[in-house]
Homo-oligomer: A and B are copies of this chain.
């Protein structure tokens, strides 16, 4: 779960990392009053979670009321890579001489946290990682001990950070690690960490991704989640229903249990010439209501022309799935789009007995179910 910049900055500032003064604003007047309090020049930054905000016109540096009004007018309400901008962060501009990068993430391959420092901050750090990997110093952390102070120093000195600010940068990195550790971070990054000409360091941006599986013990972060919710309506609905859902471009709706099996179903739709409309994993052990919600999700996507329901029961039981499908479809006067069902595994026979076959098309294998759904979608488009 990714925090908005303004949320992450607050979390960082509370932990003692220096950040510029800033205020959130929702309209032009708010922007002007914030800028007045902070003092020009200020940056006006769209609070949407898309990459490359700056290049897309979502960040402007302004030095008086007139410029601020103009920038606020243009950014508030704009559509940034498909997301509507309804809030901006007004932030004191920092006069910097250097831009650094510091970050903490989980190195999945090593199975341990890694702290990173680079003097090539302020740019696309993924590109730096790709093109000049040695420009990013990586220090792995033993999660039982946590990050030792010397490790922060080692990363900072090895990265070639100036000796004048090295201690402060090491201290920011240490705090960032502790934050990442305390808050169940997935990634925590500052890019750029600006260095001013009087050797102050200040976090000009803030990224904080939190492990969704740990939100139960991060109540403050969980509270931020609502505010941080994605702009896409369908994805918001998926959040509410607590589904793993990804919207795609095609017309064959897909529902299944287990990421691997659902991905395989997508692959087969492609294999048989169709185009998947979505990825939707109901997870393990879904009960009837969850199945009903899944159908609701998929039908909410106007692009969908057919649905394939592929359940291989382990922990999930075929009878519950059948009950859910019946309930969902019996609520309609007319079934919106054809639904193909394939049930296997735990209690599949019981499921088949329960399933109202007037409402769905039943197939015995994954391959035939997908082929049938692709055919239906082609008919729908025709």
Contacts and interface: CB of A to CB of B under 8 A. Distances in A.
Query: How many copies of the polypeptide does the oligomer hold?
Result: 2
Interface string A140-173: 0010110000000000000000000000000000
| Range class of the A interface residue count | under 10
Contacts of A142: 144
A142 B144 CA distance: 9
A145 to B, nearest CB: 5
A145 B143 CA distance: 8
A364 to B, nearest CB: 46
Interface in A93-147: 142, 144-145
A306 to B, nearest CB: 50
Interface string A322-341: 00000000000000000000
Nearest to A142: B144
Interface string A63-82: 00000000000000000000
A145 B142 CA distance: 10
A134 B142 CA distance: 35
A165 B144 CA distance: 30
Nearest to A144: B144
A292 to B, nearest CB: 38
Nearest to A145: B144
A142 B145 CA distance: 10
A355 B144 CA distance: 55
Interface string A217-254: 00000000000000000000000000000000000000
A177 B205 CA distance: 39
A144 B142 CA distance: 9
A54 B145 CA distance: 43
A2 to B, nearest CB: 29
Contacts of A145: 144
A188 to B, nearest CB: 22
A81 B144 CA distance: 46
Contacts of A144: 142, 144-145
A145 B144 CA distance: 5
A261 to B, nearest CB: 34
A216 to B, nearest CB: 16
A184 B142 CA distance: 22
A150 B144 CA distance: 17
A112 to B, nearest CB: 13
A145 B145 CA distance: 7
A201 to B, nearest CB: 25
A259 to B, nearest CB: 30
A272 B176 CA distance: 63
Nearest to A146: B144
A144 B145 CA distance: 5
A333 to B, nearest CB: 54
A141 to B, nearest CB: 12
A344 to B, nearest CB: 38
A142 B142 CA distance: 14
3 contacts: A142-B144, A144-B144, A144-B145
The 3 closest A-B pairs by CB, nearest first: A144-B144, A144-B145, A142-B144
